[in-house]
Amino acid sequence: MLALGKLLELTLAGREPSEKIQLCSSGARLQWKIDGVLEVDPPAGHDSGVDLLLSAGIHGDEIAPVELLEHLLHAIAACRLQPAVRLLVVLGNPAGLRRGEHFVGHDLNRLFGGLQPAVSGPEALRAVELELQAELFFNRPQRRRLHYDLHTTLRPSRFARFALWPASAGPPTREQLARLEGAGLQALLLHSRTLGTFCAFTASRFGAESLTFEVCPPAAGQGVDLQLLEDWLHALIEGREPPTTAGEPLQLFRVEREIVKHSPEFRLHLNGVLDNFAELVPGSLLAEDANGQSWWVSEPGARLLFANPQVKVGQRAGLIVVPVGVDEACS
């Protein structure tokens, strides 16, 4: 197998490959760009007109999707997977990956698009590097642009496979929802305001169909099943229509409120471990902070997502989300 197919190994070791460009016997071309970033060009005459950016490891302790990308690269380098798309593989936060930590100084997935100009340090520099790599990659006109950023959640979830749709992408179409449902997604969360995420940046700057995929452990202590997602990405890379998965209809949610930790006195009333998308009891007290600030559940059908009372002061400690219909989501 070609050495460039071992991107994770190179990234964890902090090494540059001796050969920056390698050719597969199939004619596919692998090019090392910068630390943790590899571009794959399909063989001549096999380009389907799609530019696909796959990123993982934006948070250094979310290793399962990083290993998924490594599997795909191994298959390309060994000629078991024949790419028919231009592909950019990004391991987002090498420093975090090497340390096995969510982030080193700041959450990288809040630093794209210049939304936090006062932040400095390694993650801020990395955000600028990745923005430049995305700009160089999405520089060809009249091509379909896709960006899927792969994550895993710390908590189990009522929906094992869900995705986040950035507000900067505008409302999704019914065709896009049908395609995501066919990919085995169980829920889609529609953001209501622009965040500094990698996907929000590529959606607004390049018009890419950009989604953050979250694959979750079904229960505490159990592993993450990435097989459906891997099969779907395998088909996309080969230029085939991805396989569809029969299952429950895709459930849609909208972010209604953010819970922000304003002081060390912040308390989140979870009554033990609370799964992502767990239903909240109307009228219940969800969180309290200093100066009498409190969050009560007032929305019908409200659920809690990304609950984490251990975040730093000023950061999000959870999201209150509510269900929405297709007509509202696509309007």
CATH (domain of 305): 2.40.50.630
Tell me what pLDDT residue 162 has.
93
Tell me what pLDDT residue 226 has.
80
Q: Which two tokens stand for residue 130?
A: 């990745």
pLDDT digits (tens, 9 = 90+) for 193-221: 888 999 999 999 999 999 999 988 655 55
Question: Is residue 179 over pLDDT 90?
Answer: no
Catalytic residue among 9, 214, 248, 288: 214
pLDDT digits (tens, 9 = 90+) for 119-165: 888 899 999 999 999 999 999 999 999 999 999 887 788 888 899 99
> Is 283 among the domain residues?
yes
Q: Can you give the residue range of the structural domain that contains 229? A: 3-237
pLDDT digits (tens, 9 = 90+) for 251-273: 999 999 999 999 999 999 876 66
Active site residue 279: no
- 170 lies in the same domain as 81: yes
- 11 lies in the same domain as 84: yes
Tell me what pLDDT residue 256 has.
92
- 227 lies in the same domain as 110: yes
Question: Is residue 91 over pLDDT 80?
Answer: yes
Tell me what pLDDT residue 224 has.
66
Reported as a pLDDT band with limits 50, 70 and 90, residue 71 is: very high
The structural domain count of the chain equals: 2
Average pLDDT of the chain to the nearest whole number? 89
- 18 lies in the same domain as 160: yes
* Span 57-81, average pLDDT: 93
Lowest mean pLDDT among 37-41, 139-143, 167-171: 167-171
Tell me what pLDDT residue 121 has.
85
- 100 lies in the same domain as 164: yes
> Is 250 among the domain residues?
no
Highest mean pLDDT among 18-32, 137-151, 263-277, 304-318: 137-151
Tell me what pLDDT residue 215 has.
84
Question: In the chain, pLDDT over 70 holds for what percent of residues?
Answer: 95
- 212 lies in the same domain as 264: no
Give every CB contact of residue 235 below 8 A, 6+ residues apart in sequence. Answer: 241, 242, 243
CATH (domain of 99): 3.40.630.10
- 50 lies in the same domain as 110: yes
